[in-house]
């Protein structure tokens, strides 16, 4: 008779369920139970129950809690390839039944507002035109890359990521410049140097709220202004400058796209780079790989901006 004290992976151990492995795959890619549950169309409790069942079946932990999500253990990494084989087999079965070879599932991308508007949206729209069954969630967020990024497949950040658990890809470089309306400059004077900005109101991010060193330091290079209008939204910066609130420190590709704005102090040209940060596990998903490829392709093109930003000049 089998020993009741035998290791769980021995004779009589509960079977490893394919759904449990697919759940592990979703958590590995997204880093959070809630995000994995959403991607699988189940609830958080079911994700937790499936991971617990998988751990009982293999007799070991497959995930470990990290500061901002879940990370795979060594046993979890061993099972990841098995889970991917199951996912691939299901995709082949779907293709056999439907005859479709298109990508499916959901890809989640987080990107700053300006990049989302200018490059990510056109790129992901084109991707969905090629693969109508692929769903996309685009979250606007300006933040540094996190060591334990979770909840998204691709994170686009300002400045080179210093993240050991992810792969980094340089996308493109832009400049921050100073822009204002002719009406504002007629009323308050046109500064010729950075020092003369001390007589003006500056439109930019709220100090020390982003945690993005390159953007925080950009604002710190300006002299103490006579006043300010601050917001955590880059598009609010553009709109405020268009309405004459002050001189906006804006991405040049957005400032040039607005017919209401003109550049001042052209020597102020601060170069900043967009990067993509992707979990290794996430990049093994064909949909994520395709999304990253097309984002990189579009990021290499000139800004695809409308002649007038939404609401510009109103």
pLDDT for res 177: 95
User: Are 119 and 296 spatial neighbours (Cβ–Cβ below 8 Å)?
Assistant: no
Residue 151 is predicted with a pLDDT of: 72
Cα torsion 25, 31, 36, 38: sign = negative
* The pLDDT value given to residue 209: 72
Domain boundaries, the chain: 18-98, 105-171+273-299, 174-272
Between the alpha carbon of residue 63 and those of residues 56, 221, 252, 305, the distances in Å are: 13, 44, 44, 43
Q: What percent of the chain has pLDDT over 90?
A: 47
pLDDT at residue 165 is higher than 80: no
The CATH class of 174-272 is alpha beta
List, for residues 95-113, the tens digit of each pLDDT value: 666 666 678 788 989 999 9
Query: Does 105-171+273-299 match 18-98 at the fold level?
Result: no
Taking only the tens place, the pLDDT of each residue in 107-144 is 989 999 999 999 999 999 999 999 998 889 999 987 76
Within 10 angstroms of residue 255's Cβ, the number of other Cβ atoms is 24
Q: What is the pLDDT of residues 30-70, one digit of tens each?
A: 888 888 888 888 898 999 999 999 999 999 999 988 766 78
Mean pLDDT of the chain: 85
CATH topology of domain 18-98: Arc Repressor Mutant, subunit A (1.10.10)
The CATH H-level (homologous superfamily) assignment of domain 105-171+273-299 is Periplasmic binding protein-like II (3.40.190.10)
- Positive or negative, the Cα torsion across 88, 89, 93, 99? positive
- pLDDT for position 11: 54
pLDDT beyond 50 at 312: no
Calculate ∠ Cα 139-140-142, nearest 5°. 130
């Amino acid at each position: 008779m089998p020993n009741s004290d035998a290791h769980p992976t021995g004779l009589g151990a509960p079977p490893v369920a394919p759904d449990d492995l697919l759940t592990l795959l979703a958590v590995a890619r997204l880093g959070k139970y809630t995000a994995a549950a959403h991607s699988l169309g189940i609830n958080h409790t079911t994700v937790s129950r499936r991971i617990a069942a998988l751990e009982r079946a293999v007799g070991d932990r497959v995930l470990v809690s990290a500061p901002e999500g879940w990370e795979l253990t060594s046993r979890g990494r061993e099972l990841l390839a098995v889970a991917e084989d199951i996912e691939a087999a299901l995709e082949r079965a779907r293709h056999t039944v439907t005859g479709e070879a298109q990508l499916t599932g959901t890809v989640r991308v987080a990107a700053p507002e300006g990049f989302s508007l200018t490059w990510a949206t056109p790129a992901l729209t084109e991707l969905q035109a090629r693969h109508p069954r692929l769903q996309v969630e685009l979250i606007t967020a300006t933040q540094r890359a996190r060591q334990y990024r979770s909840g998204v497949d691709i994170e686009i950040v300002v400045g080179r990521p210093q993240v050991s658990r992810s792969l980094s890809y340089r996308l493109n470089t832009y400049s921050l410049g100073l822009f204002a309306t002719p009406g504002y400059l007629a009323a308050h004077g046109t500064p010729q140097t950075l020092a003369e900005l001390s007589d003006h109101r500056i439109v930019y991010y709220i100090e020390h709220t982003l945690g993005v060193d390159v953007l925080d330091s950009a604002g710190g290079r300006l002299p103490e202004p006579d006043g300010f209008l601050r917001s955590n939204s880059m598009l609010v910066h553009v709109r405020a400058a268009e309405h004459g609130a002050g001189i906006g420190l804006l991405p040049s590709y957005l400032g040039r796209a607005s017919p209401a704005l003109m550049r001042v102090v052209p020597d102020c040209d601060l170069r900043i780079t967009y990067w993509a940060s992707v979990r290794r596990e996430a990049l093994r998903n064909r949909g994520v790989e395709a999304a990253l490829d097309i984002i990189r392709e579009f990021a290499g093109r000139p800004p695809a901006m409308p002649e007038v930003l939404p609401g510009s000049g109103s």
